[in-house]
């Protein structure tokens, strides 16, 4: 993933998606997302009670033809039946505006739709991209390219994320580098007539270093990196060599493009599948498969209200993103970070409880919910440092988010609680001499309020304080990147101490609230490995150390809440009251 570069998207994709049926009238027709006459889109809204995920259709036509009217009516109806809204866009042709204009137009359309998410009942966290041929290549380019959002822009549309969360495309060129196309498929494919228009700015400099950089920038496969969204590619052409005497452009929809992308994605752990249309019994089955793919990846936890800004990138990895809900009133609001749990190997920013979010916003807080790298992608301390970076990023952009950088607290559950406590109890990780303005910001918190948090991650101490069974939690070897047999090895003592929040307590630390709801009964030898990982003993251990240095630490258990009602919900009330007291 880099910044935009040209792309030799070719293909007459209109032929791929041509249908005899007519499209129904859209709820929003010819909405202008940019200044050019072709910067228009149509939107069909899914019949859902609340905000729906969205798929954006990007037409093909070799970047010189085609229209949003090429959207398949059957594909549209299948997605609407799944509860997924659909938008179809036009973009500038390369006959007048060469690369990167088509890509940047599509990015602007994504940002425009996110900006109007509330008005048009779109969930801005879950937007997918579809299309054929040139439109397929544009969709993949958007999905794999670095986010083009400019959070400092005076234009509210430009502040929105341009990233997609899933892509399902037909006949895609995954590389627009004619050198690669010639070797992969055949020289005729590399001589597609759209190429000269797409790279018109090169003139006769096709062998120059400038051309090589442009070919890279235009190629989706060049931008793939860990954490990128999943992709489904479907091809109709056979896998064959193109003879040298074939007409220019022959093979431009070869499934070898799909194989190239699948191999690259596998190298960095990005889900990607390439299929042949012949593997489906009919086109309806193909459309259902595409809709099912989007449903799996776009219809996740959508009980949260749409954020004001979705998938804001705070770092280079695909999971370095957060959602942001503004405070309901007033500038310079206090901010609460939510860090999700999941054993450092799962979970998502959408795991924020809607009830907690509502309480925090009613109390006047802005809220940011973070993703971070899993330990399977980068072991300790990567998850912690990702969240540190998000905290510094938000401080650096405080005026833009209308938050008070001096009043920031954090919350989270389980692994997210452990990260919160680690950040709050560590010495300041800012580097005032850094050339990076984000890194110069303090990492200190004003308060911490967590659920089921591990206050130490030393397997030896877990075995001693709780049980040997708990110390065998399968997430611990992955977190530290060491074999399970070495979890009791004193050679790793410094690493375990470094990762354990309770080891870093000092008298200048922020106050903490810890809630636990796991049974107080002892862990049994017959329990599954990891049982007890949310025991209140973790909280008691931290409270003893914080009490010694005179820092407030409240530890509560669900069985302490009397009367009807969910103890977790009652803990939410206490968390909001605790944070309000310390951030006012």
Give 5's pLDDT tier (boundaries 50, 70, 90).
very low
Q: How far apart are CA 349 and CA 341, in angstroms?
A: 9
For 482-501, the pLDDT digits (tens) are: 999 999 999 999 999 999 99
Please tell me the predicted confidence (pLDDT) of residue 313. 94
User: Would strands 321-325 and 309-313 be described as parallel, antiparallel, or unpaired?
Assistant: antiparallel
Give the pLDDT confidence score for residue 19 in this predicted structure.
43
From the list 162, 165, 185, the residue with the least C-alpha distance to 258 is 185
Instruction: Work out the pLDDT band at 563, boundaries 50, 70, 90.
Output: confident
pLDDT at 566: 87
Give the whole-angstrom CA distance, residue 443 versus residue 440: 9
Q: Minimal CA–CA distance to 494: which of 465, 517, 523, 460? A: 460
pLDDT of residue 398: 96
In this predicted structure, what is the pLDDT of residue 328?
84
Q: Where are the beta strands (DSSP E) in 434-507?
A: 447-451
For residue 56, list its beta bridge partners. Answer: 87, 129
The torsion of the CA quartet 17, 21, 25, 28, rounded to 10 degrees, works out to: -10
Q: Name the CATH superfamily for 14-298.
A: Alpha/Beta hydrolase fold, catalytic domain (3.40.50.1820)
CA 204 from centroid of its chain's CA atoms: 40
Quick: pLDDT tens for 20-43. 469 999 999 999 999 999 999 999
Count of helices and strands (H, E) across the chain: 20, 16
What are the structure tokens assigned to 256, written together? 């070898």
Q: Which residues pair with 554 in a beta bridge?
A: 513
Query: What percent of the chain has a predicted confidence (pLDDT) above 90?
Result: 89
d(CA 503, CA 53): 43
Region 317-322: what's the mean pLDDT? 94
What's the pLDDT tens digit per position in 434-472?
Answer: 999 999 999 999 999 999 999 999 999 999 999 999 999
Question: What are the two backbone dihedrals, phi and then psi, of residue 540, each rounded to the nearest 5 degrees?
Answer: -60, -40
What confidence tier does 270 reach under pLDDT thresholds 50, 70, 90? very high
pLDDT, tens digit, for every residue of 386-398?
999 999 999 999 9
Instruction: Map tokens 């499209």 to a residue.
Output: 23
- Residue closest to 505 by CA, chosen among 424, 584, 444: 424
**pLDDT for 97 beyond 60:** yes
What tokens appear for 444 in the block? 């200190």
Asked if the domains 14-298 and 309-583 are classified in one and the same CATH topology, the answer is yes
Q: Tens of pLDDT along 150-205?
A: 999 999 999 999 999 999 999 999 999 999 999 999 999 999 999 999 998 888 88
pLDDT in tens, 40-93: 999 999 999 989 999 999 999 999 999 999 999 999 999 999 999 999 999 999
pLDDT at 119 over 90: yes
Give the pLDDT mean for 499-507. 98
Would you list the domain boundaries of the chain?
Answer: 14-298, 309-583
What pLDDT was estimated at residue 204?
A: 85
Q: How confident is the model over 397-442, as pLDDT tens digits?
A: 999 999 999 999 999 999 999 999 999 999 999 999 999 999 999 9
Q: How far apart are CA 381 and CA 457, in angstroms?
A: 12
The C-alpha atoms of residue 300 and residue 191 are separated, in whole angstroms, by: 42
Q: Give the sign of the dihedral formed by CA 339, CA 340, CA 343, CA 344.
A: negative
**pLDDT tens digit string along 300-310?**
766 788 899 99
User: If you average pLDDT over residues 306-334, what whole number do you get?
Assistant: 92
* Domain 309-583 in this protein, CATH class: alpha beta
User: What is the reported pLDDT for 189?
Assistant: 94
Give 17's pLDDT tier (boundaries 50, 70, 90): very low
Closest CA to 52 of 10, 94, 80, 19: 80
- The whole-number pLDDT of residue 302 equals 62
């Amino acid at each position: 993933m880099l910044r935009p570069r040209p792309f030799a998207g070719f293909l007459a994709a209109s032929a791929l998606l041509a249908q005899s049926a007519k499209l129904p009238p859209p709820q929003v027709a010819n909405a202008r997302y940019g200044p050019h006459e072709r910067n228009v889109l149509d939107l069909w809204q899914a019949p859902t009670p609340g905000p729906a995920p969205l798929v954006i259709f990007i037409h093909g036509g070799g970047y010189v033809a085609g229209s949003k009217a090429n959207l398949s009516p059957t594909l549209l109806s299948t997605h609407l039946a799944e509860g997924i809204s659909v938008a179809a866009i036009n973009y500038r042709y390369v006959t007048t505006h060469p690369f990167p204009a088509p890509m940047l137009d599509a990015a602007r359309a994504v940002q425009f739709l996110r900006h109007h998410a509330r008005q048009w009942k779109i969930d801005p966290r879950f937007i997918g991209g579809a299309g054929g041929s040139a439109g397929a290549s544009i969709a993949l380019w958007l999905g794999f390219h670095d986010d083009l959002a400019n959070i400092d822009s005076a234009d509210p549309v430009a502040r929105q994320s341009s990233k997609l969360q899933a892509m399902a495309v037909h006949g895609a060129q995954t590389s627009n580098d004619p050198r690669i196309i010639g070797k992969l498929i055949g020289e005729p494919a590399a001589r597609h007539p759209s190429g000269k228009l797409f790279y018109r700015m090169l003139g006769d400099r096709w062998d120059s270093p400038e051309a090589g950089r442009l070919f890279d920038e235009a190629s989706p496969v060049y931008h793939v990196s860990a954490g990128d969204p999943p992709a489904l590619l479907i091809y109709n052409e056979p896998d064959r060599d193109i003879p040298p005497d074939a007409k220019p452009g022959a093979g431009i929809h070869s499934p070898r493009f799909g194989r190239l992308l699948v191999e690259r994605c596998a190298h960095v752990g990005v889900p990607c599948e390439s299929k042949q249309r012949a593997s489906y019994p009919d086109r309806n089955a193909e459309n259902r498969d595409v809709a099912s793919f989007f449903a799996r990846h776009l219809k996740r936890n959508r009980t949260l209200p749409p954020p004001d800004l979705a998938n804001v990138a705070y770092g280079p990895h695909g999971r370095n993103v957060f959602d942001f809900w503004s405070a309901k009133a007033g500038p310079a609001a206090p901010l609460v970070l939510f860090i999700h749990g999941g054993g450092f190997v799962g979970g998502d920013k959408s795991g924020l409880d809607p009830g907690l979010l509502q309480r925090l916003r009613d109390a006047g807080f802005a809220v940011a919910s973070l993703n971070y790298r899993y330990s399977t992608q980068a072991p300790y301390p990567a998850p912690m440092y990702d969240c540190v970076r998000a905290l510094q990023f938000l401080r650096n952009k405080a005026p833009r988010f209308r938050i008070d950088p001096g009043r920031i607290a954090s919350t989270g559950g389980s692994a997210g609680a452990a990260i919160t406590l680690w950040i709050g109890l560590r010495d300041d990780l800012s580097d005032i001499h850094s050339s990076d303005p984000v890194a110069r910001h303090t990492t200190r918190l004003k308060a911490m309020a967590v659920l089921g948090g591990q206050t130490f991650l030393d397997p030896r101490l877990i075995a001693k304080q709780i049980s040997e069974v708990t110390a065998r939690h399968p997430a611990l070897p992955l977190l530290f990147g060491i074999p399970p047999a070495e979890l009791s090895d004193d050679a790793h003592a410094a690493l375990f101490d470094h990762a354990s929040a309770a080891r870093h307590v000092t008298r200048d630390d922020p106050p903490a609230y810890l809630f636990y709801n796991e049974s107080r009964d002892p862990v049994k030898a017959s329990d599954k490995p990891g049982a007890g990982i949310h025991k209140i003993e973790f909280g008691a251990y931290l409270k003893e150390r914080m009490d010694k240095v005179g820092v407030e630490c409240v530890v509560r258990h669900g069985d302490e809440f009397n009367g009807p009602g969910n103890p977790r919900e009652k803990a939410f009330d206490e968390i909001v009251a605790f944070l309000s007291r310390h951030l006012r």
